[in-house]
Amino acid sequence: MPMPRLRIRLSTVLAGAGLLVPGCANPGVGSAHDDPAAPVTLTFWHGWSTAGERKAIDDSVARFEKRHRNITVKVVPNVTDETMNQALRASGDDAPDVVSSFTTNNVGQYCSSGMWVDLDPFLKKTGVDKEKVFPRTFLDYTSYQGEQCALPLLADSYGLYYNKDAFKKAGITRPPHTMSELKRDAVKLTRRDRNGSYQQVGFMPGFRLYQNSPDRMFAQWGPAYFDRNGKSRLARDPASKEFFATARELTAAQGGYRPLEKFRTTFGDEMSAQNAFLTQKLAMHMDGEWRGLMLRRAKARFAWGTAPMPVPDDRADTYGRGYLTGTVAGIAHSSRHQNAAWELVKFLTVDTDQVVRFANAIHNVPSTHAALKSPRLDTDPTFRTFLDIARNPHSVALPPSVNGGQYVTALQDFSYRVEAGQVPDLDAGLRGLDAQIDSDNLQSEN
């Protein structure tokens, strides 16, 4: 099954271990003077781990080697960001040439530390116009302060999965488009037994549920996390209060935080056959494009569909938007074969046929304009929902930061306290959150 992006807290661990501090790497040990046509063996580290994903990568590399007879690629799967960064800091003979990561939040650190090389010279040298190849949002999360140290290698978009059978039973004819419609439908879809215990919840907004990280729902408001000077501005953005007010309203309308949280503890593991949407304990659920493949493989016992997540009522014209993230690929600063490594990165990220075949193989969203329009893409309409979300000009990704995803972790922890009713003054709480994020960023810069 495709790998969801669940490693949000990893950047905090790495920063605390001194693995991602700007300036900690030695960008000068590699070389961009190699002949890409000379015989060479490259090492490619990636994080995919399941049999299907690994086969898709191996097939991709085989296609590359067939085109580049002089280059042999040694593929190392299931590599974590922590392992990769330790190797890049050491810069030994076993360090990789081509690297990839699921953690887009860390791109700011990859760029500012110099551990991943700037790809703009390679793009220019080989005539690749990145603005024409990649959607703007994808370029935003693969660069930092003007340095393009990574390129997108497939993407994820988040939307709404809904139980069509439950909708029909409740007399609902289409998925909700706005947050008020979401609340209305969630109440209609919530069912209890004779004792008042939940049998099914319409939509659970709890931030600890599966993919319900607050930044993903917050994307429907299109927030600006930082100002021009890099200072956190969540307290100054009216969308922040609107977002938390909406989450509170959704919770209250379906019974309150404590009953919903108690029900959540009865859910099975997200990636198991006991997933709460699969077992029909949830009638609607936010998730990524990979969930559809999992539902089909599990032979879900109900009809289901996909749609974009609802948007705030006063932003109804942005319906179709969503949260975007993805895998990123780059060249290790320590590689002595950077031109040959670029040929592999370029093939994996730019070549339309390769991007489409890889996207179909692991059921992820392709990451180039041409691939998104390709007639060879999976034609399943439930999957195409996520392609449309990726193409929507209002869709957003998290902005890069010098301390990676540490600001997202701070937002998560704050959100847990808000939903539990532990933040009586939301304005003051948001100001404190801004101060914490700014302090964390300052420490990373120093």
Instruction: Identify the three-state secondary structure at position 116.
Output: strand
Q: Cα–Cα distance between 208 and 385 in angstroms, integer?
A: 25
Residue 413 in domain? no
State the pairing for strand pair 304-307/282-288: unpaired
Name the domain boundary from 290, 307, 323: 323
Are 51 and 185 contained in the same domain? no
- pLDDT of res. 29: 66
Residue 210 in domain? yes
Residue 15 in domain? yes
Are 210 and 181 contained in the same domain? yes
State the pairing for strand pair 98-101/40-45: parallel
Residue 21 in domain? yes
Q: Cα–Cα distance between 134 and 349 in angstroms, integer?
A: 9
Are 229 and 240 contained in the same domain? yes
pLDDT by residue (tens digit) across 54-78?
999 999 999 999 999 999 999 999 9
* Residue 43 identity: T
Residue 213 in domain? yes
Instruction: Identify the three-state secondary structure at position 137.
Output: helix
Q: What is the DSSP string of 287-301?
A: EETHHHHHHHHTT-S
Q: Are 286 and 207 in contact (CB under 8 A)?
A: no
- pLDDT of res. 446: 64
Query: How would you label 49-75 residue by residue, b for 16+ Cβ within 10 Å and e otherwise?
Result: eeeebbebbeebbebbeeebeebebeb
What CATH number does residue 206 fall under?
3.40.190.10
Q: Cα–Cα distance between 241 and 83 in angstroms, integer?
A: 38
Name the domain boundary from 323, 348, 371: 323
Range of the domain at 70: 10-156+324-397
- pLDDT of res. 268: 97
- 3-class SS string, 218-284: HHHHCCCCECCCCCECCCCCHHHHHHHHHHHHHHHHCCCHHHHHHHHCCCCCCCCCCCCCCCCCEEE
Are 372 and 393 contained in the same domain? yes
- Stated as kind and residue range, the H or E segment containing 369 is helix 369-372
Residues in contact with 176: Cβ distance below 8 Å, sequence separation at least 6, in sequence order: 160, 182, 184, 185, 284, 310
pLDDT tens for each residue of the chain, 446 residues long: 444 444 343 344 344 334 444 444 444 468 889 999 999 999 999 999 989 999 999 999 999 999 999 999 999 999 988 888 888 887 667 789 999 999 888 898 899 889 999 999 999 999 999 999 999 999 999 999 899 999 999 999 999 999 999 999 999 999 999 999 999 999 999 999 999 999 999 999 999 999 999 999 999 999 999 999 989 999 999 999 999 999 999 999 999 999 999 999 999 999 999 999 999 999 999 999 999 989 999 999 999 999 999 999 999 999 999 999 999 999 999 999 999 999 999 999 999 999 999 999 999 999 999 999 999 998 889 999 999 999 999 999 998 888 778 999 999 999 999 999 999 999 999 999 999 999 998 887 76
- pLDDT of res. 83: 87
Chain centre to alpha carbon of residue 300: 25
Are 140 and 19 contained in the same domain? yes
Are 131 and 190 contained in the same domain? no
Chain centre to alpha carbon of residue 365: 11
Helices 352-362, 338-350: crossing angle, 10 deg rounding? 70
Domains identified in the chain, total number: 2
Residue 165 in domain? yes
Are 328 and 314 contained in the same domain? no
Residue 410 in domain? no
Are 174 and 130 contained in the same domain? no
Burial class of residue 129, CB neighbours in 10 A (0-12, 13-18, 19+): exposed
Task: Give me 144's structure tokens.
Answer: 């930092």
Name the domain boundary from 370, 397, 424: 397
Q: What is each CA distance from 397 to 41, 122, 328, 446, in whole angstroms?
A: 35, 25, 13, 26
Are 227 and 263 contained in the same domain? yes
Phi, psi (rounded to 5 degrees) for 397: -120, 165
Question: Measuring CA to CA, which residue among 9, 432, 426, 437 is closest to residue 239?
Answer: 426
Are 168 and 303 contained in the same domain? yes
Helix and strand element counts for the chain (H, E):
19, 10
Are 179 and 207 contained in the same domain? yes
Are 190 and 300 contained in the same domain? yes
Q: Cα–Cα distance between 48 and 51 in angstroms, integer?
A: 9
- Stated as kind and residue range, the H or E segment containing 182 is helix 179-189
Residue 176 in domain? yes
Helices 426-445, 406-419: crossing angle, 10 deg rounding? 160
